[in-house]
Amino acid sequence: MEPGNGTQISEFVLLGLSQEWELHPLIYGLFLSMYLVTVFGNLFIILAISSDSNLHTPMYFFLSNLSLVDICFTSTTIPKMLVNIQTQSRVITYEGCITQIYFYTLFVVLDNLILTVMAYDRFVAICQPLHYLVIMNPRLCGLLVLVSWIMSVLNSLLESLMVLRLSFCSNLEIPHFFCELNQVLQLACSDTFLNNIMLYFLIVLLGGGPLAGILYSYTRIVSCICGIPSAQGKYKAFSTCASHLLIVSLFYGTCLGVYFSSAATQNAHSTAIASVMYTVVTPMLNPFIYSLRNNDIKRALQRFLGRLAFQGPTVLG
C-alpha cells in the first residue's frame, strides 16, 4: 500500500494502554492472568459439555460455540500485546495489522450473532416448550451456527478489503493495544468516506439488528413468564435465561459504554482502556457466569475433573 510520501508501509506502532515502561510488568502479569483464565475457563466449559451426554442439547451446543468464539476472540489481540511488552516493542507489521483487523472483526460479530441465536433458543424454550425439541432440532441448530459463521466471515473480509485500498501517511501510531478498525481508518491519508459509510452500515445491520432480535425475544419471554401462575414456575423459567441475559448485558453494556465514552471524550487512550472490558473481561467472566449459576454445568465440570483426577494416578501407575 502506497502512502502519501511514496514509500512502502511495512509496520504500524501500537501505543498500548500505557507509555510508561515501569507499568508494563504489571500490565503483562494482569493480562497474562486474564488470558489464561479466559482460555482454560472456556476450554473446561467446552470439554464438560462435549463429555456429558446430558448436556447435548441446543442450549449447551450454542454455549460451547460461544466459549470457542471467546477463546479465539481474546487470542486475536492479547498474545500480540504480551509479546510486544515482553520484547519492549510496539511494532506490528502491516500484514499483521490487517490480519488482526480481519479476525477481530470476525469474532466480535460472531460473538454477537451467537448471543442472538441463544436468545432465540431461550424464546422457543420458554414460550413454546411443547414444540421446543421439534423446532430446535440438530439440523436447525447447526444451520444457525453455520449462517452466523458465514455472515461474520463475509463481513470481516469486506472490512479488511476496504482497508487494503487505503494509503497511509507518516503518522502510523495507533493509540490502542491492537489494530482497532476505526483507529486505523483515522490514520489514512486517502479518502475514508466510503469506509466510514460501510462501517456504520454494517454496525447497524450486524449490531443493531441482532440487538433488536434479542430485545424482541426477551420482551416475549417476559410476557410469557408473567403469564405463569405459580411463583416457582416463574422462577424456574427465569433461571433458564438469567445467565444468558447477564452475558448479553455485559457484552452490549461494555460495547455501548466504549462507544459513548469515545464520542464524549474524544480521548483515544481512554477508549483503549475502556475497550478492555468487552475484549478481555467479558469473555473471561462468561465461564464463571454459566458455571456458578447453572447446576448442570457444575455437575458436568465436577464429573469431568473427577475423571481427570482418576485417570492421572492410573497413567502414572
Answer yes or no: is pLDDT of 74 > 80. yes
Q: Residue 3's pLDDT band (boundaries 50, 70, 90)?
A: very low
> 155 with 198: CB under 8 angstroms?
no
* Percentage of the chain modeled with pLDDT above 70: 90
What average pLDDT does the segment 143-165 reach?
96
Mean pLDDT estimate for the chain? 86
**How many whole angstroms from its chain centre is CA 310?**
34
**How many whole angstroms from its chain centre is CA 196?**
22
Residue type, 6: G
CB-neighbour burial class of residue 83 (10 A; exposed 0-12, middle 13-18, buried 19+): exposed
pLDDT of residue 316: 43
Helix/strand/coil for 267: coil
Closest CA to 48 of 302, 238, 285, 219: 302
Helix/strand/coil for 180: coil
> 16 with 90: CB under 8 angstroms?
yes
Helix/strand/coil for 91: strand
Q: For residue range 287-303, what is the model confidence (pLDDT) as tens digits?
A: 888 877 677 787 777 78
Q: For residue range 97-145, what is the model confidence (pLDDT) as tens digits?
A: 999 999 999 999 999 999 999 999 999 999 998 999 999 999 999 999 9
Neighbours of 60 (CB within 10 A): 21
All 3 cell numbers of residue 46? 467446552
Domains of the chain and any CATH numbers: 11-316 (1.20.1070.10)
What average pLDDT does the segment 170-179 reach?
86
Q: CA 186, 187, 188, 193: dihedral to nearest 10 degrees?
A: 0
d(CA 288, CA 38): 10
- Per DSSP, the residues of 10-59 read -EEEE--S-S-GGGHHHHHHHHHHHHHHHHHHHHHHHHHHHH-GGG-SHH
Q: Residue 267's pLDDT band (boundaries 50, 70, 90)?
A: low
All 3 cell numbers of residue 25? 510488568
pLDDT of residue 81: 93
The one-character DSSP state at 130 is G
Residue 276's φ and ψ, nearest 5 degrees, are -60, -30
d(CA 108, CA 117): 15
d(CA 52, CA 46): 10
Answer yes or no: is pLDDT of 58 > 80. yes
Q: Provide the H-helix boundaries in 165-230.
A: 181-185, 193-203, 209-226
d(CA 44, CA 300): 10
pLDDT of residue 113: 96
> 261 with 15: CB under 8 angstroms?
no
Q: Of 78-87, 96-105, 133-142, 308-317, which gets the smallest average pLDDT? A: 308-317
Q: Which of 4-13, 18-27, 85-94 has the highest mean pLDDT?
A: 85-94
